[in-house]
Amino acid sequence: MVSKIITRGLLALTAAGVWQTQVHAGGFSWGEANTDILYERGNATVQAGVTYVNPRRDFDTINGASSSDDPFSQDYAIPNVAAMGRISESLACAFTYTKPYGGDSKYGPQARAADQAAGLPASSNYYFGKKFHANEYGATCDVSFEMGKGRLHFLGGGFMQDFTYKAESFFGTLRLEDDSAFGYRFGIGYDIPEYALRAQLMYRSQIEHKADGDFTPLALAGLLGSAPVAADGHGTLPQSLKLSLQSGVAPGWLVYGSAEWTDWSVLKTLDYNIAGLPPQQDQYNWKDGWTLIGGVGHQFTDKIAGTLNVRWDKGVGNGADIMTDTWSVGAGAAIDCGPGQLRIGGGVSYLTSGSQSTAKGANFNATANGDWAYALTASYNIKF
């Protein structure tokens, strides 16, 4: 029998440790909607937090010459908000917000010069920088039933996702935006709170974005004029399937892990059109991604629990860019303070070396040595 205090601590570790300090996740993955809040047995729970990520990816060589450019990957922040209300013993619903996908790159003078020297095929626009992000607003409900010593859960709901894209180049600035696209998630889970045991399988659908916007000419002002011209684009962000497991293994100790498949192979290109110009595209040609996580948690005192986890993200790049394997170590703590619980953590990632080549769709040849990324996260949870 697991005592009440240990049970509380182990469940806190689940929230503090499995929220995954995403130092540098695979592909364009950023945040994940906090649907775990549906397993809380109180009448209502609210959690809000933010993760700050400092990736440090840079080019080691560009077209065979040593590079002195600064890191091209830029810092970013991932908000995460969830509010759960229990309607009955068997029904609870949660509203969630996060940024599930994003990317932000600014290229140095050597990379810009190499891009410009490549000429102007459909995939080359002499980029200074690219930035995009997606916001997800979701609602998910959980219907649960007693089964054996625990409860069987059926989870499902929908979400609205927007998309904003900006690319600055020698020729001008492209802006695209999709106000709303819709998707869904569903899953099944089983938990025994007495032993901090939980198993869950969750599916999230892919999203098709069709965006409108404009292009403000710079070098092309002589051809298109200086006023913005109409533009549009389309692309697909992937579906995913995630299996999560956890269990108490001894008084005050918890082990957990997850395996997630993400269908990044759907992102071959981002296609767009600018009035007065031929069709354009950004090439990715990515492979499917896999993320594996394993961790352990421990209850130190009545009010403090801690966790340590290791994460591996399979590289999705296929040579058109440098998206390699990533190894991460994260640590976190859950601290009862005030009316709720403070959850803090941090992590460090090692981005393995890699290369890109024009033969595989890149605008120029380049290599990257192993690089590092860092993250800090904090959230606060209140139960009613």
Q: What is the structure's pLDDT at 140?
A: 98
Q: Give dist(CA 67, CA 366) in Å, integer.
A: 9
User: Is the pLDDT confidence value at 376 over 90?
Assistant: yes
User: Residue range 366-379: average pLDDT?
Assistant: 96
Q: What is the structure's pLDDT at 123?
A: 47
Q: Answer with the residue of higher pLDDT: 67 or 115.
A: 67
Stated pTM of the model: 0.93
**How many C-alpha atoms does 97 have within 13 Å on its Cβ side?**
10
What are the backbone dihedrals phi and psi of residue 16, each rounded to the nearest 5 degrees, phi first?
A: -75, -30
User: Residue range 91-117: average pLDDT?
Assistant: 94
The residue to which tokens 């995954």 are assigned: 20
User: Residue range 45-60: average pLDDT?
Assistant: 95
User: Residue range 39-65: average pLDDT?
Assistant: 95
Identify the structural domains of the chain with CATH numbers, from first to last: 4-383 (2.40.160.60)
269, 229 contact by CB (below 8 A): no
Instruction: Tell me the percentage of the chain whose pLDDT exceeds 90.
Output: 80
Lowest mean pLDDT among 119-128, 257-266, 305-314, 375-384: 119-128
Q: What is the structure's pLDDT at 23?
A: 53
233, 211 contact by CB (below 8 A): yes
Q: What is the structure's pLDDT at 13?
A: 53
Q: Give dist(CA 102, CA 307) in Å, integer.
A: 27
Residue type, 111: A
Lowest mean pLDDT among 13-17, 109-113, 119-123, 168-172: 13-17
Q: Residue 2: which pLDDT band, with cuts at 50, 70 and 90? A: very low
Instruction: List CB contacts of 57: < 8 A, sequence separation 6 or more.
Output: 71, 72, 73, 322, 351, 368, 371, 373
pLDDT in tens, 162-193: 999 999 988 899 999 999 999 999 999 999 99
Lowest mean pLDDT among 104-108, 221-225, 301-305: 221-225
Q: Is 167 helix (H, G, I), strand (E, B) or coil?
A: strand
* Token code pair at residue 12: 């806190």
Q: Give dist(CA 186, CA 202) in Å, integer.
A: 6
> What mean pLDDT, rounded, does the chain reach?
91
331, 306 contact by CB (below 8 A): yes
Q: What is the structure's pLDDT at 126?
A: 72
Question: Which H helix or E strand runs over 258?
Answer: strand 253-262
Q: Residue 24: which pLDDT band, with cuts at 50, 70 and 90? A: low
User: Residue range 31-50: average pLDDT?
Assistant: 95
Nearest residue to 203 (alpha-carbon basis) of 163, 238, 160, 255: 238
Q: Residue 1: which pLDDT band, with cuts at 50, 70 and 90? A: very low
One DSSP character per residue, 41-53 reads -SSEEEEEEEEEE
pLDDT in tens, 234-293: 999 999 999 999 999 999 999 999 999 999 999 988 999 999 999 988 888 999 999 999
Q: Is 82 helix (H, G, I), strand (E, B) or coil?
A: strand
